[in-house]
Chain A
Amino acid sequence: MFRRNRRLAVISALAATAVILSACAGSPEPVVETSKGEPDLNATLSVGLVLEPSNLDIRHTSGAAIEQILIDNVYEGLVTRSQDNTIEPRLASDYEVSDDGLTYTFTLNPDLTFHSGTALTSADVAASYEAVRTDATLQGNAEFASVASIAAPDAATVVITLTEPNQNFLFTLTGPAGLVFQTGDTTDLQTAENGTGPFTLENWSKGSTITFARYDDYWGEPAKVAEVVFEYIPDFTAGVNAALDGSLDVLTAVDPNLAPQLEDSGDFVLTTGRTTDKATLAFNNAKAPLDDARVREALRLAIDHEGLIEAVGAGETLYGPIPELDPGYEDLADVAPYDPERAKELLAEAGQKDLELTLTIPSFYGTTVPQVLVSDFAKVGVTLEVDAVEFPTWLEDVYTNKDYELSFVLHVEPRDFGNFANPDYYFSYDNPEVQSLYAEALAETDEEASAELLAKAARLVSEDHAADWLYNGATITAVSPLVAGFPEDSINSRINLAGVTKTAE
């Protein structure tokens, strides 16, 4: 899914923000250690977030907002992923992949229990995964297409066999498809849960807060706070106000233009985390005049990416479909450097004079990006009209009906390169060479060799100018000095609260 990203254009704050951000960008330590005193095990941690899940049924509903809070905290899978997207065991104590890449053998940790109190065995895993494999309405069903069988030879062992090697399979298991549910459970997952994680769902006040309580019988190390309250505040300014009046311990997704306010208050430490958010300027590759590669290239050359990032306030340049946290990343800056003169030449070559294009953008992304694009394109003689629409409208017009010219969306999912190998995806980008390279990369059992194939495919996509990647998003989090261990990277897709502590004032 996509993350909301509303920007307030506070022009005067831009320069200051840019300096602050460049100072804190790229800090390597994954965790902020700001707390000094002893952690208070009875503490309530309140976390401000922007986007609320529409319901809690993680098996049937897609969306980063659900995964962000539920995976690892309430539900767990055999494996999970760390902040930098490497795969780690979770319910499984260990796993082995056969040399041919077809057989995955997992050994379960001892003493696993569901929140209902029932013990978790390999039979629950097998039943959960079998459901994903066979039920098309479950999240991850398509990714399970290559699963031949799921077996539970004994209570602590799960064996999954694939029909063909799939480099992404373990990663799929770190998402909703890999979560384990109690066999025959009748809990209504839309509003309640029965997971295995360190927290239980205590209360959901729709449109306001979701509360987790520590699960004291957790099989692993228990959580270090008694309660976590997620406060959903869709308005960025309201979020900052809430943080400043002391009602939040942590505010995620801070608007870069409002960040200095929080920093100046002295009540928060700001961190800048990496993400797999790709701010994607989609071209409708099937529609004239964008079916002409020269036009697409001209548009990319016309964009001053550094200037755009400065206006947005946070992020890194990204000139291809794969971000730094995903396998196959390569700096592709040479493919589309800022060159408005060359852009004009290309447009002339393509016979495009006084080109007029429409950008369809979900309205919650605000106006900063469209404004920069309008002005950059104007410099090469392209008039850009901006059509801001509601997200469901975007889904219908752009995503489903492909009725658009240019579109802007933050694609937040990790490892979603496959969208460029799928000619039916809304980009309508169809390059058989990319498709076969991607298939090869998936089938490759060696991780590094697979990443190399992906890098090769990504370069081709960028050289075809299938889209433009305006920037790789960074996420700013404001954390109270009383809080320690709050994750920093990738938190718009996963906030693992297991190690977070809060000190009494």
Chain B
Amino acid sequence: MIRYTLTRGVLLIAGLLVSSVLIFLTLRVFPGDVAQLIAGTQASPATVEALREALGFNRPLVVQYGEWIGGVLSGDLGTSQLSGASVGAELAEKAQVTVPLGLMALVIAMLIAVPLGILSALWRGRASGTALSVTAQALAAVPVIWAGMMLIVVFAVWLGWLPAQGFPRGGWDHPWQAFRALILPALTIGIVEGAMLLRFVRSATLQARGQDFVRTAAAKGLSRNRALVQHGIPAVGLSIVTVLGLQVAGIIVGSVVIEQLFTLPGIGRMLVADVGTRDLIKVQSELLVLTGLVLVVGFVVDLIHHFVDPRQREAA
């Protein structure tokens, strides 16, 4: 177990280092820079060049990378080239929107996927089961942005129940308002991700249904569905954990789109704005944090698997 954890840990760190190099290099391919943006269109080339020099763009790439990654390793994500503000502080501020949004979306997705997925498996062959699985298929195919627009039109513009955009100025000082602001965006991501997850839960349940131990339980006198619920579902749980891990990446991508649509001041929107202004140090650190998050979730999922499932332990 310890050996496995250590090996996976080393792989995780290697993965992060490789990502950091890739992130750093790909961003350097972008044309245009922040110096030009600060100076504006009435500035002389000399002014822009002086600014570029001051911002350190003229130094070798290796030096720039080393400085950035050195800072990151010592816990300093750098400062914005545009506003001079600390990237870490801003990320922490924006995380107050994005993290609750992601968690709410995840909860909603699970609330939709797990019961409905199992039901649709149990109802297989019935009209209600088919209707459920067709609906899920259709919802999973819906682009997040369209789902969001529909929810805005219905719940914010027509019914006026929930805000269509923005986050309370005081953040979580007014928890109810902040929560309300996140309902529609979380629903949007939750429904679409939930529909995808539902199909997975359904097929995993169906698979469990055919397993020997479920059949044995049924042979001992349980009804087939009861046998499935009592013995099959716990076995499905583990594979759901895996998919949930993958879902985290989906939710991060979804939040980039959704924060744009609902004008939520979160990490996704900050990222888009910073790419647009070529605030490269910020973008680098933000991407690295997000990549790290996905890698860490994958790492944790692997460990859980390894710990819970004896077959995997033997294989290792």
Contacts and interface: CB of A to CB of B under 8 A. Distances in A.
A399 B41 contact: yes
A191 B157 contact: no
Interface residues of B, number: 50
A62 B39 CA distance: 6
A31 interface: no
Contacts of B26: none
A241 B164 contact: yes
A61 B152 CA distance: 36
B190 to A, nearest CB: 20
Contact of A136 (B38, B46, B149): B46
Interface in B103-129: none
Contacts of B260: 234-235
A1, A136, A188, A238 — most chain B CB neighbours (10 Å): A238
Interface of B: 30-34, 36-48, 50-51, 82-85, 90, 93-94, 149, 152, 156-157, 160, 163-167, 169, 260-263, 265, 269-270, 273, 276-279
A229 interface: yes
Interface in A220-245: 229, 231-235, 237-238, 241-242, 244-245
Interface string A370-404: 00000000000000000001111111110110000
A82 interface: no
Contact of B157 (A241, A393, A413): A241
Contact of B32 (A229, A238, A395): A395
A264 B90 CA distance: 39
Given A208-B167, A238-B164, A400-B36, A413 B270 contact: no
A206 B157 contact: no
B132 to A, nearest CB: 32
A200 B95 CA distance: 28
Contact of B169 (A52, A229, A390): A229
Contacts of A188: 84
Contacts of A207: 94, 265, 269-270, 273
Contact of A247 (B42, B165, B270): B165
Interface residues of A, dominant DSSP:
loop
- Categorize the interface residue count of chain A: 35 or more
Contacts of A232: 263
B83, B149, B273 — most chain A CB neighbours (10 Å): B83
B166 A231 contact: yes
A2 B277 CA distance: 14
A414 B209 CA distance: 73
A209 interface: yes
A54 B82 contact: yes
Given A55-B82, A235-B260, A245-B157, A137 B31 contact: no
A142 interface: yes
A180 to B, nearest CB: 21
A63 interface: yes
B20 to A, nearest CB: 23
Nearest to B270: A207
Contacts of A229: 169
Nearest to A206: B90
A22 interface: no
Task: Give the top 4 A-B pairs by smallest Cβ distance, nearest first.
Answer: A62-B40, A392-B32, A208-B265, A55-B83
B32 A390 contact: yes
B165 A233 contact: yes
25 contacts: A1-B41, A54-B82, A54-B83, A62-B39, A62-B42, A62-B43, A136-B50, A141-B47, A203-B169, A205-B93, A205-B265, A208-B166, A231-B166, A233-B165, A235-B263, A241-B157, A245-B165, A246-B160, A247-B164, A390-B32, A392-B30, A392-B34, A395-B32, A400-B36, A416-B42
